[in-house]
Amino acid sequence: MKTQRERMTNGDIYYPGSGDSELRHLFMESRRLMREYNQTSENEPEKRKEMLKKWLGKTGDNIYIEPNFKCDYGFNISVGEKFYANFDCIMLDVCPITIGDYTMFGPRVSLLTASHPIDAEIRTSGLEIGSPIRIGNQVWLGGGVIVNPGVTIGDNCVIGSGSVVTKDIPANTIAAGNPCRVIRDITEEDKKYWEEKAQIYWDEVESQK
C-alpha cells in the first residue's frame, strides 16, 4: 500500500489529516526551516544558499530567493542554475515543482500544485489531490503571477504581471491575463532590439572608465 507521501507526490488522492507520521514530520520540518530562513539577514547570503540546498529537493550551485519564502515541504521543489525569486514567493509543493536554469520570478509569485475535489462533500472530508508544475529555462514570471496545478510553461516565456496561468504556455511566447493567454511570439526583432539596448549600456560603461 502506498504511503500518504507517495500518494501525494504521485498526484493521487490522499488524506493529509490521516496522522501519517512521515508526512507530518516533513511538514513540520519545512515549517521550521521556513521560519529560520525568513529570519536570516541580508548579510547572510551564503547561509541562505546553504539552507535552500538543505531544504529543497534539488538546486543549482547559485540560486537566490528573497525572504519571505513559503512552501509546504521543499523536497518536491527542483530549481536550476541562477534561479531568482523576489519577495513573498509561495510554492505549494504537494506535487513536484520543476524550474529550469536562469529563470526569474517577480514579487508575490505563487506556484500552486495543490487542489481539492469539486464535490463539496468529498472536499470537506479532507481529501486532497495535486498536479505537478513545470517551468522551463530562462522564463520570467512578472509580479503577482499565479500558476495553477498541472501547468507547464515553456522555455524563454515572459508571463505578464498579475496573470493567472491555468493552461500550458508554449515556449518563446509572451502571455498575460486572467486566464493567461498567449499574446504573441518572441521574435528575432525582440532579440535585436534588446541587444542594441544592452550594447548602448556597455558602450557608456566603457566610455566612463
- Which residues are the active-site residues? 116
Cell 515541504 sits on residue: 73
Alpha-carbon distance of 148 to 134, in angstroms, equals: 11
Q: Cell 566612463 belongs to which residue?
A: 208
d(CA 39, CA 177): 34
Enumerate residues 6+ apart whose C-beta is below 8 A from 119: none
Q: What letter would DSSP give residue 142?
A: P
